[in-house]
Copies of this chain bind each other. A is one copy, B any other.
Amino acid sequence: MSGFGPGDPFLADCPARLAVELIADKWTVVVLYGLSKGPVRHGELIELIGGISRKMLTQTLRRLQAHGLIRRHAYAEVPPRVEYELTPLGATLIDPIHMLTEWARANGDAVLDALDAEPVADSD
């Protein structure tokens, strides 16, 4: 009587679960959001995001690329220039991500309030 069917994000072998884990990462959502308005350079993302290290950014981008969500374009210039942009598949993720960031903007303060209000109350 659980009401969950196959394809739900349960049971480790279903693709939905894998995809959820893809984006359930500290930086993935922010990076994808940063790419949502067009191609962006590596360095721009660093400044834009703030708090991410070059290593983590590169690592996140590589993973997204491997999963087919973004495309990497390296120009043979000096100094080097590398741009990243969403693939069509990656672009389909923007809507769900926008909902998340909208939720975050609307409810972020409520979450913060709860954080210092409740000393982990237990109702019984």
Contact = CB atoms under 8 A, between A and B. Distances in A.
Main secondary structure of the interface of A (DSSP, over half): helix
Nearest to A18: B108
Nearest to A89: B110
Contacts of A107: 19, 89, 92-93
B22 A8 contact: no
Identical copies in the complex: 2
A62 interface: yes
Interface of A: 2-4, 7-12, 14-30, 33-34, 37, 44, 48-51, 62, 65-69, 71-76, 89, 92-93, 95-96, 99-115, 117-118, 120, 122-124
Query: Which 5 residue pairs across A and B have the least CB separation, nearest first?
Result: A68-B114, A15-B108, A19-B104, A16-B104, A96-B99
